A and B are shown apart, each in its own frame.
Chain A
Amino acid sequence: MELTRRDAIAALAAAGVAGGGAVLVASDRDRGSESNDDEGATNDAHEDIVETATALAPVLYPSEVDDAAEFVRTYVTGRIENDDDHRTGMADAVAALDAHASEEFESNFRELSPEQGDRLLTDVGLDRVRPDPAGSDLERIRFYLVNELLYALFSSPTGGELVGTENPPGHPGGLESYQGAQR
Chain B
Amino acid sequence: MSATDQESETNGSANREPSDRADVCVVGAGPAGGIVAHSLAERGHDVVVLEAGPRFSFEERIRRMERHQRPAFDQADVWEMGGERDAFSSSGDLNYPLNDVRVKGVGGTTLHWIGYTPRFHEKDFEMDSRYGLADDWPIAYEDVRPYYAAAEREMGVAGGEDNPFAPPREESFPMDAFPASHSDATLSTACEELGIETHSIPQARNSEAYDDRSQCVGYGTCHPVCPSGAKYSGDVHVRKAEEAGARVLDRVPVQRLEHDDAGERVEAAVYATPDGTEHRQEARQFVLAGGAVETPRLLLLSESEQHPDGLANSSGAVGRYFMDHLLHMTMGVVSEETRQHQVGFSTAATHQFYDHEESTPGSFFVAFLNYAGPSPVELALENGAWGDDVVDAVSREYGTHVGTEALVEQLPDAESRITLDTSRTDDHGNPVPDVAWSIGDHGVRTGERALEVQREIMDEAGARITWSTSPRQPLSGSHPMGTTRMGADPETSVVDERLRTHDLDNLSIASSSVFTTGGAMNPTLTIAALSLKAADHVDEDL
**Chain A interface (Cβ < 8 Å from any Cβ of B):** 13-16, 18, 59-64, 118, 121, 126-133, 143, 146-147, 150-151, 153-155, 160, 162-165, 167-175, 177-181
**Chain B interface (Cβ < 8 Å from any Cβ of A):** 59-60, 62-63, 65-66, 69-72, 178-182, 207, 215-221, 227-228, 337, 339, 341-344, 347, 370, 375-378, 380-381, 384-388, 390-391, 394-395, 398-399
CA distance A125 to B18 in the complex (A): 57
Judging by beta carbons under 8 Å apart, are A147 and B381 in contact? yes
Q: Using known A-B contacts A63-B387, A172-B228, determine if residue A167 contacts B69 with beta carbons closer than 8 Å.
A: no
Judging by beta carbons under 8 Å apart, are B387 and A170 in contact? no
Chain A contacts for B386, CB-based, 8 A: 59-61, 121, 127, 146, 150
Judging by beta carbons under 8 Å apart, are B62 and A15 in contact? yes
Please name 17 further chain A to chain B contacts, defined as beta carbons within 8 Å, in addition to the given A162-B394, A162-B395, A171-B220, sorted by A numbering: A16-B63, A63-B387, A128-B384, A130-B71, A147-B70, A151-B380, A163-B394, A164-B399, A167-B220, A168-B341, A170-B69, A170-B219, A170-B377, A172-B228, A174-B217, A177-B339, A181-B337
Interface of A is mostly: loop
B438 CB to closest chain A CB (Å) equals 36
Judging by beta carbons under 8 Å apart, are B70 and A151 in contact? yes
Chain A contacts for B376, CB-based, 8 A: 154, 160, 163-165, 168-169
Chain A contacts for B385, CB-based, 8 A: 127
CA distance A63 to B506 in the complex (A): 69
CA distance A179 to B181 in the complex (A): 4
B231 CB to closest chain A CB (Å) equals 13
Judging by beta carbons under 8 Å apart, are A168 and B66 in contact? no
Chain A contacts for B59, CB-based, 8 A: 16, 18
Chain A contacts for B181, CB-based, 8 A: 178-179
Closest to A174 in B: B218
Judging by beta carbons under 8 Å apart, are A118 and B381 in contact? no
Contact among B228, B342, B344 with A177 in the assembled complex (CB-CB below 8 Å):
B342
Interface centre among B178, B378, B391, by most chain A C-beta atoms within 10 angstroms, is B391
Q: Using known A-B contacts A13-B62, A15-B66, determine if residue A163 contacts B395 with beta carbons closer than 8 Å.
A: yes
Chain A contacts for B72, CB-based, 8 A: 130-133, 143, 147
Judging by beta carbons under 8 Å apart, are B178 and A162 in contact? no
CA distance A62 to B228 in the complex (A): 31
Chain A contacts for B390, CB-based, 8 A: 60, 62, 150
B393 CB to closest chain A CB (Å) equals 9
Q: Using known A-B contacts A163-B376, A163-B394, determine if residue A170 contacts B217 with beta carbons closer than 8 Å.
A: no
Sample (12) of A-B pairs whose CB atoms are under 8 Å apart: A15-B62, A16-B60, A61-B386, A118-B387, A130-B71, A150-B386, A169-B341, A170-B220, A170-B221, A172-B219, A178-B218, A178-B343
Chain A contacts for B394, CB-based, 8 A: 154, 162-163
Judging by beta carbons under 8 Å apart, are B219 and A164 in contact? no
CA distance A132 to B72 in the complex (A): 5
Judging by beta carbons under 8 Å apart, are B380 and A180 in contact? no
A114 CB to closest chain B CB (Å) equals 9
Chain B contacts for A128, CB-based, 8 A: 384
B506 CB to closest chain A CB (Å) equals 45
Contact among A14, A63, A130, A150 with B380 in the assembled complex (CB-CB below 8 Å):
A150
Chain B contacts for A143, CB-based, 8 A: 70, 72
CA distance A9 to B182 in the complex (A): 27
User: Closest 4 interchain pairs by CB?
Assistant: A16-B62, A178-B342, A172-B217, A169-B220
Chain A contacts for B216, CB-based, 8 A: 175
Contact among A15, A61, A179 with B387 in the assembled complex (CB-CB below 8 Å):
A61
Judging by beta carbons under 8 Å apart, are B343 and A163 in contact? no
A77 CB to closest chain B CB (Å) equals 18
Interface centre among B69, B178, B344, by most chain A C-beta atoms within 10 angstroms, is B69
Closest to B183 in A: A178
A119 CB to closest chain B CB (Å) equals 12
